[in-house]
Amino acid sequence: MEIKKPAVAGTLESSDCMVTVEPGGNGVEFDLESAVIRQYGYQIRKVTMETLERLGVKNVKIRMVDKGALDCTIKARVECACYRANEYKGYLPWGGVIR
């Protein structure tokens, strides 16, 4: 999936995260700011990378400001940001790459 333009999903509310994606030409550049980075930094990165891989996003600058979101929330925000950035207008593939 191609990241065609910058897009944002999520909020800065507690237990949510705000994900910003931008077109990038250098693989996945991941930047994380998290209230729980010491305990869950690696887990958050793992979930983000898995989600991007599932969506087939190869080149992206992705920035996440996390306020203690659970894995399911992180997945949903990353998926949403990427589809917005792709300008995708069709039916979303629920149960496909969106899980």
Partner 1 sequence: MINAVGREIPDEILKITGKEPFQGNFYKEGKIFTKAGPSIRPVMDNRHSKLLKSIREALEKCGAHDGMTVSFHHHFREGDLIVNMVMKEIHAMGLKDITICASSLGKAHDPLVPMIEDGTITNIESSGVRGKIGESISKGKLKGLAIMRSHGGRVRAITTGESKIDIAFIGSPTCDDYGNCRGIGGKADCGVLSYAIVDGNHANYCVAITDCLVPYPNLPAHISQTKIDYVVVVDEIGIPSKIATGAAKPTTDQRKLLMAQYCTDVVVNTPWFKDGFSYQTGVGGASIASTQYLAEIMRERNIKMGFGVGGLTKAMCKLLDDGMARVMLDVQDFDLDAVANLRNVNHHRITAGAYANPLNKGAFVNKLDYVVLASLEVDVHFNCNVVVGSDGMITGAQGGHPDTAQGAKCAIVICPLLQGRIPAICTDVTTVTTPGESIDVVVTDYGVAVNPARQDILEALKACGKVPLKTIEELRDIAYSIVGEPRKVEFGERVVGIIEARDGTIMDVVREAKEFKFED
CB of 43 vs partner 1, minimal distance in Å? 6
Query: Nearer Cβ to partner 1, position 17 or 85?
Result: 17
Q: Of 45 and 58, which CB lies nearer to partner 1 in the complex structure? A: 45
14/26 with CB nearer partner 1: 14
| Residue ranges that bind partner 1, judged by CB under 8 A | 14-15, 35-43, 45, 67-71
Smallest distance from the beta carbon of 36 to partner 1, in angstroms? 5
3-state secondary structure the chain: CCCCCCEEECCCCCCCEEEEEEECCCCEEEEEEECCHHHHHHHHHHHHHHHHHHHCCCCEEEEEEECCCCHHHHHHHHHHHHHHHCCCCCCCCECCCEC
